[in-house]
Amino acid sequence: MDSTADPKGKRPLYQEDGLAYARAAAAAAAAAPDEEKAEAKPSSSSEEAKEPEPEAEDQEEMPPLVLVAEDGVEVSISRPAARMSHMLRLLMEDSCADGPIPAPNVHSDILELVVEYCEKHGPYYDPEASERARNPFPPFPVELTPTVSSIKPVTYVDPDPHGLKDWNKEFISLDNSTLFEVILAANYLNIEDLLDLGTTTVADMMSGRKPEEIREIFEIENDYTPEQEAEVRKENAWAFED
């Protein structure tokens, strides 16, 4: 059975499922209007020419996208900000983002935080540059173009001209529950930069700490008996060496 046939009958857990779910919902919404609202056919060949689609620069003038959280609350996001989500970017490219876009695994409070992040970073986001930063080493063979001179001018480039690093640090200062919900939402919407920020924050919280300290930070109950814990330490002695 096609998993996208009934968008109301499935709660997607992964990015691919979420994209198919959103596309199916958009298709269902597009088919809803009555036949009376269908466009009339052009009477002459001169009227058959389609209007050109708006360029990327004109996205700011287009209406925002509407995301529907799991509790039914609608959250708007501008199109430049929505580009940070790989899932939403594909929906816009496929012209499937004109209607409400379901986010069934994300509560409205978390969705608003995600949108806040995207709106802050969206004006400066370049998908191609982000991909190059994520994969700095190109696949072999590498073709090097000849240079006029091996001497390069020394210029200072501000690594954070928009102050996003300090903003990120303040933004991600969340309680553990909210932090993990933001990470799950970033994974569902495929927002790689936000996903990196969240997971790096968790890794920093764990770095250099003992298992007991990590359990206390994340409120993890130790369900091992003393005998089981001793056995685990024995089997993985290398992990407990100072």
What is the structure's pLDDT at 129? Answer: 72
What is the structure's pLDDT at 237? Answer: 84
Buried-exposed string 144-182: b where 16+ CB fall within 10 A, e elsewhere: eeeeeeeeeeeeeeeeeeeeeeeebeebbeeeeeebebb
Q: How far apart are the first and last CA of the chain?
A: 54
Tell whether pTM > 0.85. no
CA 178 to CA 91: how far, in whole Å? 27
What is the structure's pLDDT at 105? Answer: 87
Q: What is the pLDDT along the chain (242 residues), one digit of tens a residue?
A: 444 444 444 445 556 566 766 767 666 665 555 444 444 444 444 444 444 444 445 556 789 999 999 999 999 999 999 999 999 999 999 988 889 999 998 999 999 999 999 999 999 888 777 666 666 565 555 555 655 555 555 666 677 888 899 999 999 999 999 999 999 999 999 999 999 999 999 999 999 888 889 989 998 888 888 898 889 888 888 877 76
